């Protein structure tokens, strides 16, 4: 079987793995992301690839990156958490690695992995929402990722769910990300509890059955269900996949999402409705998706 290397460049760590055609990760390694040093990111990726491919037999490298990419997947327009701005990332990586590189947005790569090898395997169309620090998204229909006219499509965290609502880092107000991200969950839970809590503390409270923690999570689920209702009306997917760190809450999150969707989607019960499910691949999805995209060639 021909393996490929997948790289997932995030705001806190860079993960790399050798991935086989069935989506299996044969080896996984990582390094902290030198987020304020773009050149150091290039050298770190090169070190990871060298460690995974000591015999220089793997020609295919896919790189998922937490950034806005141009339509041709050559340059980074901007990254919220890494010091890149109009940066020729593909060219720089290809020079450092001495082999072709395929770039993709990290949420798109995770969505592709779930479509090909995870929770949406066998479906023709799917939408993925990644619930972490922010809210990311991916849209896939009949084997193609939707990236839009300028390359930055499927930014699902920035659909507006509360007109004139909370200010978002993107410059708009009332974005889904401000109500349904991990950041929003921790903030709202802290307000209800009357004290600051970390994400880990909140998960512990949920496991203990704390009613206020559950109330905060249900609020996130409610907003996600509303957002999904709008997305389904436009995209008509077979499957909605919920991933990211907050998805570790599993049915505690999925139950209020499903209830909110049923309440907010008008034609529910009068036509086929999508299956709403948790992601299957966890934190390896970006690595698996990046490798698979590189191996598969053009998928847009």
Q: What is the pLDDT of residue 57?
A: 76
Sheet holding 101-105, edge to edge: 25-32, 13-19, 4-9, 61-65, 101-105
- In the predicted structure, residue 271 carries a pLDDT above the cut 70: yes
User: Which CATH number characterizes residue 33's domain?
Assistant: 3.30.420.40
Q: What confidence category does residue 300 fall into, taking pLDDT thresholds of 50, 70 and 90?
A: low
- Tokens found for residue 252: 């505690």
| Residue in this structure with the two tokens 């907003």, named with its chain if needed | 223
DSSP, collapsed to helix, strand or coil, labels residue 102 as strand
Domain ranges, residue 50: 4-109+284-296
Flag whether 117 is in a domain: no
Which H helix or E strand runs over 162? Answer: none
Query: Can you give the pLDDT at residue 148?
Result: 94
Same domain, residue pair 76 and 104: yes
Find, among 144, 105, 139, 130, the residue nearest to 238 by Cα: 139
pLDDT number for residue 83: 84
Task: Tell me, yes or no, whether 74 and 42 share the same domain.
Answer: yes
Same domain, 88 and 164: no
Contact 281, 114 (CB under 8 A): yes
Count structural domains, the chain. Answer: 2
Q: Supply the mean pLDDT for the chain.
A: 92
Within 8 A by CB and 6+ apart from 128, the residues are 107, 110, 111, 114, 115, 120, 137, 138, 140, 240, 241, 242, 243, 279
Q: How confident is the model at residue 55 (pLDDT cuts 50, 70, 90)?
A: low
Alpha helices in 86-176 (DSSP H): 89-97, 106-117
5, burial (CB in 10 Å: exposed 0-12, middle 13-18, buried 19+):
buried
> How far is the C-alpha of 124 from the C-alpha of 232, rounded, in Å?
14
Confidence of residue 208 (pLDDT cuts 50, 70, 90): very high
Residue 213 lies in a domain: yes
Q: Which single residue is written with the structure tokens 């705001």?
A: 11
Q: How far apart are the first and last CA of the chain?
A: 25
Please check whether residue 154 lies inside any domain of the structure.
yes
Q: Is residue 195 part of a domain?
A: yes
pLDDT at 3 over 90: no
What are the start-end ranges of the H helices in the chain?
A: 38-52, 89-97, 106-117, 177-180, 182-193, 199-208, 211-235, 251-264, 285-296
CB of 134 within 8 A of CB of 145?
Answer: no
Q: Are residues 189 and 261 in the same domain?
A: yes
Separation between Cα atoms, residue 241 and residue 43, nearest integer Å:
34
Q: Given a cut of 80, is residue 63 above it in pLDDT?
A: yes
d(CA 290, CA 61): 8
Q: Are 59 and 2 in contact (CB under 8 A)?
A: no
pLDDT digits (tens, 9 = 90+) for 209-254: 999 999 999 999 999 999 999 999 999 999 999 999 899 999 999 9
DSSP category for residue 124: S
Write out the H or E segment, with its range, that includes residue 170: none
pTM: 0.92
- One domain, residues 128 and 247: yes
> Are 226 and 183 in a shared domain?
yes
Q: Is residue 114 part of a domain?
A: no
The predicted structure's pLDDT at residue 77: 92
pLDDT at 272: 85
pLDDT tens column, 146-179: 999 999 999 999 999 999 999 998 889 999 999 9
């Amino acid at each position: 079987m021909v393996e490929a290397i997948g790289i997932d460049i995030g705001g806190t760590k860079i993960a790399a793995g050798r991935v086989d055609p069935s989506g299996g990760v044969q080896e996984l390694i990582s390094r902290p992301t030198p987020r304020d040093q773009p050149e150091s990111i290039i050298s770190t990726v090169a070190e990871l690839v060298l460690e995974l491919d000591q015999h220089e037999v793997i020609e295919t490298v896919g790189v998922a990156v937490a950034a806005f990419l141009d339509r041709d997947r050559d340059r980074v327009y901007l990254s919220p958490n890494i010091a890149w701005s109009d940066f020729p990332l593909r060219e720089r990586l290809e020079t450092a690695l001495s082999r072709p590189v395929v770039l993709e947005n990290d949420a798109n790569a995770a969505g592709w992995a779930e479509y090909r090898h995870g929770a949406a395997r066998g479906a023709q169309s799917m939408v993925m929402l990644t619930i972490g620090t922010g809210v990311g998204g991916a849209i896939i229909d009949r084997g193609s990722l939707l990236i839009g006219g300028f390359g930055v499509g499927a930014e699902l965290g920035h659909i507006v769910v509360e007109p004139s609502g909370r200010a978002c880092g993107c410059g708009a107000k009332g974005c889904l990300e401000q109500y349904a991200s991990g950041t929003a969950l921790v903030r709202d839970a802290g307000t209800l509890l009357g004290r600051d809590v970390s994400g880990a503390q909140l998960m512990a409270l949920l496991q203990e059955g704390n009613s206020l923690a559950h109330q905060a999570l249900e609020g996130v689920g409610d907003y996600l269900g509303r957002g999904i209702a709008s997305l389904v009306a436009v995209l008509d997917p077979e499957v909605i996949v919920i991933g990211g760190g907050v998805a570790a809450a599993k049915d505690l999150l999925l139950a209020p999402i499903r209830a909110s969707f049923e309440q907010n989607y008008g034609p529910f019960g009068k036509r086929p409705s999508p299956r709403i499910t948790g992601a299957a691949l966890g934190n390896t999805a970006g690595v698996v998706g990046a490798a698979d995209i590189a191996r598969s060639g053009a998928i847009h």
